[in-house]
Structure formats: C-alpha cells, structure tokens
Amino acid sequence: MSAYAQLLDAAIRDLEERKAAGERFVAVAPATLGALAAPLSAPTPTRAKPVESSAPAARPAPAPRAGGLQPPSATPARAPLFPAVQPTRTSVAAPPPLPALNISAAGKPAAFAALRERALACTKCPHLVTTRKSVVFGVGDPNAQLMFVGEAPGADEDQQGEPFVGRAGQLLTRIIQATGLTRDKVYIANVLKCRPDTPGQSYGNRKPRADEMATCLPYLLEQIQLIQPRVIVALGGTAVEGLFGQTEVRITRLRGSWMSFHGTPVMPTFHPSYVLRAEDGPDKGRATKRQVWEDMLQVMERLQMPISEKQRGFFK
C-alpha cells in the first residue's frame, strides 16, 4: 500500500471514530485539502482504491431485519479528502479495517454454521479444552442490528452452552427487555468462547487472560463480519480489552462514549456482574444502573429505536 493510501486509510479510520463519537464537522485547512487533492489528480498504479469502497460505512444497505428496529437512514456519500489527525478521543486505538468476507446474504447461514462448527471443534487452548464442558459460541439472531459482547463464559454458561445465562446473564436479559427487545432479537457472544479454567478450584470464575482472548478473537471477528451489527455493546473492561487488544482498560472512564471497532460503533458499558456487585453499595447500585441505562439509551438512539417517556424516565 502506498504512503498516500495509508494516510487516507488512517484519516478514514479517525473520521469513523469521530463520527461514531457523535462529531459532525471537521475543520480542514485549505492548504491541507490542496495537499491531499494532489495525488488524486495525478493517479498512479499504486493509488488507493476509491475511498467509498474501502470505508466501512459504504457497505451495501442491509436488508430489512427482524428485531423491530427502524432501518437506519442512508449515509450520505462522503467526500474523500480529509486530513489524517491524531486520535484523541479515547486511549484505546481503533483497530485497522477488516478484510471483507465477501459472503452473499444467501451464503450467510452456511458460513455462520461452518464458523460455529469450527469454533466448537477448536483446540487452540489445550488447557481450556480439558476443562470445558461446552464451547459457548453465541446466541441470538445472526442478522441482529445489536450485538452484545462479554468476556467469557462462566460455570453456568459452560454447563448450558449459552452465553449470559447465570445471574449476570439474567440481569443482561432484563436490560435487553427494558429496551423493548428480547434475547432472540439481538446477538450475544463473548470474546473467549471457553470458560477460563480455575485449576485447583471446583467453583468460581476467573478473568480471561489477554493471550487467551487474542487466540479466540478471530472467531468473534468472523461473527461480527457475518452479523454486521450496526452497534456493538461491550460489556465491561475485559470485553473492551479483548476486542481492542489492550490491557488495563478503565471502563469507568470509557463507558458512555462511542468507540469504533473496525468501523462499527461500540458502546462500552459496565458488565452486568459489576452492576450486581454495586447492589451491595449504599445506593443499592442505583447510580451504576442509571449509567448503564444511559448507555443503552444512546444505543437505542443510534439504532433509531422508539424510546417512550417511561423508558427515558426509568432512573429520573
């Protein structure tokens, strides 16, 4: 890829991130515009491919989907000339664009089934293979507009082969229902598909390690590429760490601000287990629940879902 194409890709990524964060206007100096225009007016064999075909927002308009969500408004064609600017919005870098899978809508069910088969047979983490009962692939609508990503299955999920079915999962189900959706209208998955082992312990769960999440991440990437959700909700700091390949993410800082994962808007929020722990506090977790609900309202707005006065006022 030429230097110019790299610069252009970096600029597009930055703009996607800003757009996902709600920015609508970017100041561009005329001199910068002129400099960026120069290579376009003198095409060379190594010139970047047209911006609209490489930018995630340019993917074909999705067919109407199940789930009661309004179809998104059309994204206006974007002018290709923008300067590259240093990302300043969050301390977590946006990952580079994903190569397209090039799978037609008709081919998607088979591709999804094949991905599931591969994941269920995975033996990349031998220490997890020997202790797992299930590979917890994911659950919900493969055409969902909204996807939830958690960290890893716990004991309950390992037993049942389904993500978020324990106490934290039941809270997640109630959060989903509060938006007017149901579990089968969204998609729910984890970064790590196997329960982290707890050597010498017959109970309890542990946080997945960075190397385990990195090993498993390709399955989640493919899930996201096939589902093409319009919004991802990252549940907790560990999910953000796994998705973005970072360590020591501070979810208290990140939550509530849009991030961009390969062009898909991500809303980081608290993990339901954190909310449950907050229930032991003096306010019985009300402040934490309110923050999670504010994050979900942002998600609903982004998806152009109807929001009733009652929903707006849940924590007022």
Where do contacts with ligand URA occur on this chain (CB under 6 A)? Answer: 150-154, 157, 163-164, 166, 168-169, 190
C-alpha to C-alpha distance for 121 and 19, rounded to whole angstroms: 39
Nearest CB to ligand URA, comparing residues 150 and 285: 150
- Judge whether 133 and 238 are in contact, CB under 8 Å: no
* Rounded least distance, CB 72 to ligand URA, Å: 28
CB 165 to ligand URA: min, Å: 7
Cα separation, 173 vs 25, whole angstroms: 37
Nearer to ligand URA, 166 or 263 (CB): 166
Nearer to ligand URA, 190 or 269 (CB): 190
- The residues that bridge with 264 in the sheet, in sequence order, are 261
Nearest 5°: the CA angle 195, 149, 52 is: 135
Q: Which is nearer to ligand URA, 83 or 196 (CB)?
A: 196
Q: Which residue is nearest to ligand URA (CB)?
A: 150
Closer to ligand URA by Cβ: residue 55 or 168: 168
CB of 278 to ligand URA, least distance (A): 16
- H helix intervals, the chain: 3-20, 30-41, 51-54, 108-120, 126-129, 155-160, 167-178, 210-227, 237-244, 251-254, 272-278, 286-302, 309-312
Distance in Å, CB of 155 to ligand URA, minimum: 9
Residue length, the chain?
A: 316
Distance of closest approach, residue 185 Cβ to ligand URA, in angstroms: 18
| Contact present, 17 and 9 (Cβ < 8 Å) | no
Distances (CA, A) of 101 to 47, 197, 226, 259: 23, 32, 8, 23
Closest residue by Cα to residue 242 from 146, 157, 152 = 152
Q: How far is the CB of 208 from ligand URA (least distance, A)?
A: 9
Nearer to ligand URA, 153 or 229 (CB): 153
